[in-house]
Structure 1
């Protein structure tokens, strides 16, 4: 249907959910649970890496690919996942993604070698590419405009439950058998699919083309895969093959950008990036999530390899980060909705960067209270100030009918950032081969890596200060193409 200005809408006004309603709470819980599975899996796998390496006799490159195979397919296909949701139904794609993630987890749990595990993780990433953008797109399309930022803040905070439980549960599971970490996903996925089909309203863009951008998908996958392989291969030293494959990746990504500007039905409409706020926020996302992803991986490795902590102890060390986000993320989301996201994003990234610096100077035999807790707490506070305003602003900068695509783009940027950072940072700080298991090699590399990650977040703060106006409207008030119902 259309309003008096001819703007296409996706649902009648009475179908929009309110956050305090029973149906609104159930829809929010369903999106949190589905996203929580993917988040829980990621935190557990990071904690499990040293154990997986010993059990499957894997070197550093193999362990990088256990992380990167998932991140690669997720980043490469998440744009497709967002656009498929807009075209064929966000709830439908979300449910398919969650179900597939559960099946792929079975393959991970049964993997006899690191090569099989890497392949199964790639399938997991492909399925996550359907569920991750669908989660936020459902919130953007299903909730009343006045409740969207609060819903996104609640989504961010409640995911802290998964983050909080992930390191602890993961550490315990790893001490029993790392394969249990994947078996855990199977019953959770079944529950989420049932809840989604029953309580989440369907939404789609009725004007979306049914054409699949095959050229764009192919170039994105080839570009990310080649660039990631080239960067990961540098862990074993500079070689002609690594350089050539890396150059192929860069050229393919350049071709992707060109193809999207000329495609009849592009996977990523170039018009999105004509919006200054959308472009700025995605560049900030690239810097922030690159630093965050690499830093958390290095921290867990440092605590186990250098400090000699168990997997459970190393995982539990990050618990304060998740608890702080659980209680504060929604509050900062509400504050940003009433004013502007700019000061929260600038302050938050700088606070998080300070946390990385404190963690970088921890001694080789750190005390949790004196050397880990202060840095982790600042990181949690900084991310609470940053994530909900960032996410709400980037979604508000896109038309409602492109909610899934906009969510897919921002998620693709964040996943690509982590993917490239995890591939590039180890060789950059001098790690390769089995160095992840050597305290003498890992300790100095860890400190340098944490400082690099802090610098990335400072860069994010500077870009926010330059790219967002000081009086930028609140995210919930700045959504373009609103109709009379507040859509």
Structure 2
């Protein structure tokens, strides 16, 4: 098995950062923006897609979200390895071109199957794009400025989150297909600019090719887990199909881990997970993203299906929370220095849980936005701003520069697996309630499930804080 080093000496061996960081940031920001924006606008557009395709159910359309997230998660690390091997610039431009092309195919979809297939192709492009984007940014940034660069990169996603609900609502008012067409001009402009300004650093061609079979095993395992959860209400938790899907997911996960331990270029380098701070940061990211995905889906469905809001009004209703994320992210640097990554993540997850708990207690079937939905939205936005960039920074700080692309891919993979689990659990808990009171009861169960996931994330964040204290005492 290929050994991985984690000493700080590797940072000293890395070449000096090239110039052109600001131009690189603009190109990377545009690409990361559209890939993050896609998540939020698709969520807002889901009810409109359901209405357009008629016979579709929410469980079927959930694969528009989960199919994307599963493929994205499974390919992120192999794509990060491929980026390290062929060069970050090549991987970034190729991924951006594929993502942009697939966005056009999504807009042309005549049915759910076509749409899901195009979303899978879109996920392949995003998997190439995301890890290489952060690596390009770090390649172009001097070592002492890299923590700030990571926070800037994370804040791009926050900006997309803030604009996404409103943009999605506006686009859906025209037609749901516009949520994909909007990617085309930004993607094409970033491709043209990127070909001119992105640094041409050589890859490491001597490294072995990534483990494609391992990626397939991970894809199948997460897909079967999602099937078992999504279909549990329809098939029954004790049915042979649900238990078979969950058992198969467990078996494939074990096979995947065994293969990762033996392959020269595994999907997950298991020695990375022996770095306590890296492992704890990724566990927290997975659990917190499960809660976040559940929050986002339930809030969209509640506004449109129970309160009867339009897509645009839903977007405006959801926007205050995400709009808090960028300023909180940029202002939280002093808190990181004071509380540490783990301590700030504990605070952020507790604030997020309080927001979801408010909804479970305060929301009623008669629309009351200011007193019911808005306080929870503001608390969740504050929690996300405190937690997500902090976890990304903690994971990045635990790795040497030689593993920037691969390490960032592992973190994003963990978050995407969390998103799959969060969506699947929420759909399972909600079911298909009939009547306002039944809907309220179902959504309250869903919000309590989100709170439970968030509190698990709080526990993982506490482990991160403990690991960082031990590392500091050991002088690592």
Query: TM-score under structure 1 normalisation?
Result: 0.89
Q: CA 1:479–1:59 in 2, change beyond 3 Å: closer, same or farther? A: farther
After superposition, the Cα gap between the structure-2 partners of 1:95 and 1:338, relative to the gap in structure 1 and judged at 3 Å, is: farther
Residue 439 of structure 2 is aligned to residue 442 of structure 1:
yes
Query: What is the alpha-carbon distance in structure 2 between the residues aligned to residue 344 and residue 68 of structure 1?
Result: 29
Aligned 8 A contact 1:205 1:402 in 2 = no
Query: Partners of 1:12 and 1:339 in 2: how far apart?
Result: 32
Secondary structure of 1:29's counterpart equals helix
- Counterpart residue number, 2:60: 62
1:180 corresponding residue in structure 2: 178
| CA distance in 1: counterparts of 2:225 and 2:262, whole angstroms | 24
1:33 corresponds to which residue?
30
Match of 2:114 among 101, 108, 116: 116
- CA drift of 1:103 comes to 0.6
Which of the residues 198, 201, 213 maps onto 2:199?
201
Gaps of at least 5 residues in structure 2 are 1-7
Quote the Cα distance in structure 1 between the aligned partners of 2:266 and 2:68: 24
Query: Are the equivalent residues in 2 in contact too, given 1:10–1:206 (CA < 8 A)?
Result: no
Show the 5 A alignment for 1:211-222: 211-222=209-220
Aligned mates of 2:338, 2:471 — CA distance in 1 = 6
Decide whether the 8 Å contact of 2:14 with 2:402 is kept in 1: no
1:88, CA displacement in angstroms? 1.2
Matched, 1:393 2:404: no
Match of 1:326 in 2: 326
Unaligned runs of 5+ in 1: 18-22, 481-487
Compute the displacement of 1:235 (Å): 3.6
2:15 maps to 12
Q: Partner residue of 1:85? A: 83
Q: What is the alpha-carbon distance in structure 2 between the residues aligned to residue 310 and residue 479 of structure 1?
A: 55
- Contact kept, 8 Å, 2:24 with 2:197, in 1: the verdict is yes
Deviations 1:410-439 (A, max 9, x none): 111100011122113322x2514xx5x864
Q: What is the TM-score with the length of structure 2 in the denominator?
A: 0.91
Contact 2:29/2:156 (CA < 8 Å) preserved in 1?
Answer: yes
- What is residue 5 of structure 2 aligned with on the other side? none
Q: 1:456 aligns with which of 449, 453, 458?
A: 453
Whole-angstrom CA distance in 1 between matches of 2:13 and 2:195: 19
Q: Which residue of 2 aligns with 1:127?
A: 125
Aligned equivalent of 2:261? 261
Distance in 2 separating the partners of 1:358 and 1:301: 17
How far does residue 110 in structure 1 lie from its aligned partner after superposition?
0.8
1:203, distance to aligned residue in structure 2 (A)? 4.3
Q: Structure 1, residues 280-308: CA drift from partner, whole Å, max 9, x if none?
A: 11111111000001111011101111111
1:123-152 Cα deviation digits (max 9, x unpaired): 111211111222222233332222112112
**Deviation beyond 6 Å, 4+ runs, structure 1:** none
Asked if residue 404 in structure 1 is aligned to residue 405 in structure 2, the reply is yes
Closer, same or farther: CA 185–292 of 1 in aligned 2, 3 Å: same
Distance in 1 between the 2:23 and 2:453 partners? 37
Shift in Å at residue 399 of structure 1?
1.8
Which deviates further from its counterpart, 263-272 or 45-54? 263-272
- 1:170 corresponds in structure 2 to 168
- Does the Cα contact within 8 Å between 2:159 and 2:325 map onto a contact in 1? no
> How far does the alpha carbon of each residue in 1:335-392 deviate from its partner, in whole angstroms, 9 at most, with x for none?
4257621221111111111111112231112322211221111111111111222101
Q: CA deviation at 1:272?
A: 0.7
- 1:139 aligns with 137
Give 1:241's aligned residue. Answer: 241
Query: Structure 1 residues 248, 392: CA separation in 2 closer, same or farther (over 3 Å shift)?
Result: same
Partners of 1:334 and 1:479 in 2: CA distance = 22
Distance across 2 between alignment mates of 1:177 and 1:269:
43
- Residue in structure 2 matched with residue 342 of structure 1 by the alignment: 342
Match of 1:210 among 205, 208, 212: 208
Conservation of the 8 A alpha-carbon contact between 2:225 and 2:249: yes
Aligned residues: 464
Return 279-288 or 263-272, whichever deviates more: 263-272
Q: Specify whether residues 29 and 122 from structure 1 end up closer, same or farther in structure 2 by C-alpha distance, changes over 3 A only.
A: same
Take 1:426 and 1:479, find their aligned partners in 2: how far apart are those partners?
46
Q: Distance in 2 between matches of 1:438 and 1:385?
A: 37
Indicate how the Cα distance of structure 1 residues 440 and 54 shifts in structure 2: closer, same or farther if over 3 A, else same.
farther
- The answer to whether the Cα contact below 8 Å between 1:171 and 1:312 also exists between their aligned partners in 2 is yes
Deviations 1:238-283 (A, max 9, x none): 2423332332222111111111111122232221111010111111
Measured against aligned partners, the alpha-carbon deviations of 1:58-110 in whole angstroms (never above 9, x if no partner) come to 11221111111111111111111111111111222111111111111111111
SS of 2:89 mapped into structure 1: helix
Counterpart for residue 378 of structure 1: 379
Q: Match for residue 3 of structure 2?
A: none
Tell me the SS of whatever aligns to 2:37. helix
